[in-house]
């Protein structure tokens, strides 16, 4: 838990003195045993989730209205100009910040006029005092933020919590708002997750896991089963937001039939279908919808039973969109042909940690990994250099907007 030192000429970076965090990532222990967790209200979608402001647009504003020494005089100022790096306008405490993120924060902060306190420690009530004097904090998606933590942040003077993710199911938004905290999320390149989704589809269709394992063991025979070509299949995309739309655009290049389901049918860029019809007619179902109270276990036992026999499930959205026990049962009895999961129920405390040489505490994960037709990756679809830069840049931008009273 060390703070990242600021480079010369940059806004100050806070100290490394962080008390041991008393909360574990997404743990059911601690104050969460006393305070019931609430999902965001049905139908609630943060305005930031639909925010059209992309990193490219922010970069264009930087190019148009900013030089290393300050604002450039132009005939018409950019719509949301940034501030001179010599005048810090936003104090931000950045929690759960990995070294690669910290490097980007240090690089970009002067251009946004941000004074940073950076720590690798996940936010918790014990280290909320690191935010004292700062109105804004930035948190990662790996740790559930308890009510105790939110109250501690508010006592420290925090007014705005920005999560470096699109999903915000790790924060009780309604409770945060009830104690005077605004919550925002950030957009990032949808291409990172879309590319990864297509990769997973192709790997399960071509038995990639089995082929790679056999080759690693110097077994160069053909796989036990022939692959399937994507162009011969129907793919159902559940959730037609920025990522879902990017997936659909890629699928069209493969020549396959694409169906889509979304709570707003009018925005679907493919053939819209009610969910049940999409499940019955799709050879592959891929999930890209936000996690809310309404979408938790969107694919439960009953809906999985509606799917075509021999279909595949891809999930790069949120683990709780899918009933993992029901998925495992469908795979074991042969109703589904395979699955590729970048997210998983109960991944907190398992993903992003080194479990080599230790017993795995997630029974369903262990059983899924034993299956040759199931691919698991540790919530890494978003993790590209482009997307990481987007997250940091948009975090700084949204915090600056809040500090200056700009509308979200």
Kindly list the catalytic residues.
318, 347, 379
DSSP string of 95-121, one letter each residue? -S--HHHHHHHHHHHHHHTEEEEE-SS
The number of beta carbons lying within 10 Å of the beta carbon of residue 314 is 27
Please answer whether residues 342 and 369 qualify as being in contact, where contact means their C-beta atoms are separated by less than 8 angstroms.
no
Helix axes 385-403, 99-112, angle to 10 degrees: 40
Q: Which contiguous run of DSSP H or E holds residue 258?
A: strand 257-261
66-67 and 70-71 as β-strands: parallel, antiparallel, unpaired? antiparallel
From the number of C-beta atoms within 10 Å of its C-beta (0-12, 13-18, 19+), residue 132 rates as: middle
CA 67 to chain centre: 32
The whole-angstrom separation of Cα 218 and Cα 333 is 31
- For residues 285, 335, 200, 185, the Cα torsion angle rounded to the nearest 10 degrees is 50
CA-based nearest residue to 323, from 311, 333, 315: 315
257-261 and 271-272 as β-strands: parallel, antiparallel, unpaired? parallel
**How many residues appear in the chain?**
408
């Amino acid at each position: 838990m060390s703070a990242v030192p600021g480079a010369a000429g940059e806004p100050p970076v806070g100290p490394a003195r962080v008390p041991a965090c008393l909360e574990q990532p997404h743990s059911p222990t601690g104050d969460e045993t006393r305070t019931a967790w609430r999902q965001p209200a049905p139908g609630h979608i943060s305005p930031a989730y639909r925010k059209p402001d992309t990193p490219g647009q922010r970069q264009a504003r930087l190019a148009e209205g900013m030089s290393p020494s300050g604002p450039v005089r132009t005939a018409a100022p950019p719509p949301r100009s940034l501030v001179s790096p010599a005048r810090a306008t936003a104090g931000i405490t950045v929690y759960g910040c990995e070294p690669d993120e910290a490097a980007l924060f240090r690089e970009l902060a002067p251009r946004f006029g941000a004074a940073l306190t950076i720590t690798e420690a996940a936010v918790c009530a014990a280290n909320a005092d690191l935010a004292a004097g700062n109105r804004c904090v930035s948190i990662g998606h790996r740790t559930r933020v308890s009510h105790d933590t939110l109250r501690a942040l508010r006592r420290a003077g925090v007014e705005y919590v920005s999560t470096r993710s699109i999903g915000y199911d790790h924060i009780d938004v309604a409770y945060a708002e009830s104690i005077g905290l605004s919550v925002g999320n950030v957009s990032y390149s949808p291409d990172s997750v879309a590319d990864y989704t297509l990769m997973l589809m192709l790997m399960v269709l071509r038995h990639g896991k089995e082929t790679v394992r056999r080759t690693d063991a110097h077994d160069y025979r053909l796989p036990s089963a022939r692959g399937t070509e994507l162009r011969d299949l129907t793919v159902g995309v559940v959730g037609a937001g920025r990522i879902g739309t990017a997936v659909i655009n890629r699928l069209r290049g493969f020549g396959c039939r694409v169906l889509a389901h979304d709570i707003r049918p009018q925005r679907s860029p493919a053939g819209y279908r009610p969910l049940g019809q999409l499940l019955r007619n799709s050879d592959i179902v891929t999930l890209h919808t936000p996690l809310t109270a309404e979408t938790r276990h969107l694919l439960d036992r009953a809906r999985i039973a509606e799917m075509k026999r021999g279909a595949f499930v891809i999930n790069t959205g949120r683990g709780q969109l899918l009933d993992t026990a029901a998925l495992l049962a469908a795979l074991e009895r042969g109703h589904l042909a395979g699955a590729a999961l970048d997210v998983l129920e109960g991944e907190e405390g398992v993903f992003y940690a080194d479990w080599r040489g230790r017993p795995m505490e997630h029974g369903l994960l262990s059983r899924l990994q034993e299956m040759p037709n199931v691919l698991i990756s540790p919530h890494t679809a978003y993790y590209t250099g482009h997307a990481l830069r987007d997250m940091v840049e948009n975090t700084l931008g949204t915090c600056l907007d809040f500090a200056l009273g700009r509308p979200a």
